[in-house]
Structure 1
Amino acid sequence: MDALTPAGTDPLTDLLDGVRTTGAVFNRSALSGTWAVRFEDGSPLALAVPMTGPAWVVLENEEPVRLDPGDVAVLSGGTPYTIAGDPSAAPDVTIRPGGRCTVPDGTEHLTHDLGPARVTNTGGTVLLNGLYTLPSVTPGRLLAALPPLAVVPSHQGTCPVNPEAFEDMFCLAPGRQVLLDRMLDLMLITALRAWFTRPGAPLPAWYRAHSDPVIGSALRLLHTDLAHPWTVTSLAAATGVSRAALARMFTELVGQPPMTYLREQRLALAADLLREPETTIGTVAARVGFSSAFSLSTAFKKARGISPSQHRTGTASDKD
């Protein structure tokens, strides 16, 4: 039996573990003839997968990139882009924030979420898009490590979506939004794992940090016990270096100071725990190293723009 790698020893796990969404927007379009869709939704992360037929991704001031069936395009940073059947085609619809659609004269258009319609081979292109709607669910380190467009060819990584899965993904049944959220996370993580581990991929500093004898040890200590009352001083003592040396090395290799990194990891774990039924905010606060429910709520809202209660219920209003 193969042993699983403990949390904190795998740099990709640490990077991708914070990728979680609520309120994912999926657009599925059956397109034929001359078509082009402009995306100005501002999503910090998005992906596009042509399930049948080819497509082109066009970013301003960049050469168009062709996508073949099964290729996954990951777009980051919120920069506008166009996906088209012909890279020279003018957009006939624009996707706005929240999944709204407009036609060239600015009027609203029906959403591209086609509900439970079956995917068929009609000679055109069936395009699937997933949009992250909240910047707070995408770690800053991840966005910094990605180019505006990363394409994972179908032979390099397996997209965990097939036409048969669409029936469950898009049917209007209880739990639909949770299914869409988790499916988008799974698709993105699968694509990014293939992207970061592709042959010849340059290794960013945060990736190399895990092989550093001092900072790698510090990362493992933090992840082994996130609730421990760590300070830079205690972490430095545990790794056998001075406080100043640890702070400098950690910031240089990981990209942020030790306590900032620790706070982000605690909040990512809290976001997961808050989804567990019957778990109180106070209990979650204790499990992730915050002194009280109030301190967790304050930090959570500052970092993610919503309170723990809003995150738990997926609502935009709060009664805390």
Structure 2
Amino acid sequence: MDVLSDQLARARARGAVFSTLRRTAPWGLGFTGRRPLTAHILLDGTAWLTAARAEPVRLGAGDVVLATAGEPYRLVSGIGADAETITDARRRGSDHGPGPASHILCGAYVVEGSVGRSLLESLPRFARIPAPAQSPRHRNAIGLLAAEAGTHGSGQQVLLDRLLDLNLVYALRDWWQRDEDRAPGWYRALAHPGLAQVIRSVHERPELRWTLQTMADAAAMSRAGFAATFKEVVGQSPGAYLTELRMGHAEDALLRTDATLASVAAGVGYRNEFAFATAFRRTHGLPPGRWRTAHRQATAGREAGDHAS
């Protein structure tokens, strides 16, 4: 199993608001900073990333920035340039006049649940992956995204969304390779052969009756050695990791399906609905039924706001 793909799919990483804009200098785009995760790709030209309490960062062609939620920030052609809001910029569309131009692609993501929080916590406010630090495949993906962004055809929006998802996978992987200490524990564990086997196995079949012994056997390690190594690398005990994983799968099932609580409980490894409800309430502060209702209502409200903006 590709654990990164599994985590991103369950975190609901997808293009919620997408824009590709050409701007001739002087130009500026202003962002509220309220969205959980936004990707910016400078397809060509140059720009500056500025925020009130951060040093300006110069961006070159091909650079990628992942911005997490925080204070407002700007992408500008030069420090001090006026900026229009991204909402107004999307309404106005691209500039087509002569002069020094930059081509900026922005995609805001929906990132929900415990898995989404884990991904966001692994990133600083602004994670810049400069073009020279990107893997060859990442650069190729950006090139394909740039080529598609400059054309018009049927199904283009869906294709651009999928390519934006691909950029997120590569950007996270490139960033975590540069800053391994900030990478999620499960990602660090994938570099350890024994732990990697366990991580992949429990992600693929979280409903199995996993014990410390069965996980140690899967890693081909002693119980004591496995428990100590797992906690050192991942940052939590095997049992705590398994519970967190199961709760993440449960969140996913509760939000995206109409499965009964008994079915959800069985699907994530609990022998009955009562045991599942007890564990879920201990983690989330609400019983699963009430949590499902509250979060579905909140999600519907956010998505309505996205479509209206």
* TM-score class, shorter: 0.5 to 0.7
**C-alpha separation between the residues in 1 aligned to 2:292 and 2:154?**
28
- Find the aligned partners of 2:179 and 2:228 in 1 and give their Cα distance: 23
CA-based RMSD of the aligned residues comes to 4.6
Alignment of 1:265 onto 2:245 = yes
Runs of 5+ consecutive residues of structure 1 not aligned to the other structure:
1-5, 96-100, 102-109
Q: Find the counterpart in structure 2 of residue 76 from structure 1.
A: 68
Q: In structure 1, what is the Cα distance between the partners aligned to 2:255 and 2:117?
A: 23
Aligned-pair distance for 1:250? 3.1
TM-score (norm 1): 0.64
Aligned partners of 2:97, 2:170: CA distance in 1, in Å?
25
Specify the SS of the correspondent of 1:188. Answer: helix
Q: Aligned in 2, Cα 1:231/1:167: closer, same or farther, shift over 3 Å?
A: farther
- Alignment match, 1:127: 104
What is the letter of the counterpart of residue 59 of structure 1?
A
Partner of 1:3: none
Instruction: Give the unaligned 5+ runs of structure 2.
Output: 303-309
Contact 1:285 1:293 in 2 (8 A): yes
Alpha-carbon displacement from aligned partner over 1:11-33 (angstroms, at most 9, x marks no partner)? x5576554423671223333233
SS in 1 for 2:152: helix
* Residue 275 of structure 1: how far off its partner (Å): 9.7
Q: Hey, what does 2:232 align to over in structure 1?
A: 252
SS of the residue 1:139 aligns to: helix
What is the match of residue 194 of structure 1?
174
Counterparts of 1:1-320 in structure 2 under 5 Å? 6-7=1-2, 12=4, 16=8, 18-21=10-13, 24-90=16-82, 92-94=83-85, 101=87, 110=88, 112-114=89-91, 122-123=98-99, 124-136=101-113, 139-155=116-132, 156=134, 157-158=138-139, 159=142, 160-165=144-149, 167=152, 182-197=162-177, 201-204=178-181, 206=185, 207-212=187-192, 215-232=195-212, 235=215, 241-242=222-223, 249-266=229-246, 280=259, 286-290=266-270, 295=276, 299=280, 302=284, 307=292, 315-316=300-301
**Alignment partner of 1:307: what SS?**
helix
Distance 1:256 1:18 in 2: 21
Cα separation, partners in 2 of 1:251 and 1:316, compared to 1, 3 Å: farther
Distance 2:205 2:280 in 1: 19
Q: Name the CA distance, whole Å, in 1 between partners of 2:70 and 2:245.
A: 24
Counterpart residue type for residue 199 of structure 2 = L
Q: Deviations over 1:227-249 (max 9, x none)?
A: 11334565457655457x75554
Q: State the aligned residue count.
A: 283
From the superposition, tell whether residues 137 and 28 of structure 1 become closer, same or farther in structure 2 (CA, over 3 Å). Answer: farther
Q: What percent identity do the matched residue pairs reach?
A: 31
Matched residues in 1 for 2:110 and 2:15: separation? 7
State the shift of 1:86 in Å.
0.6
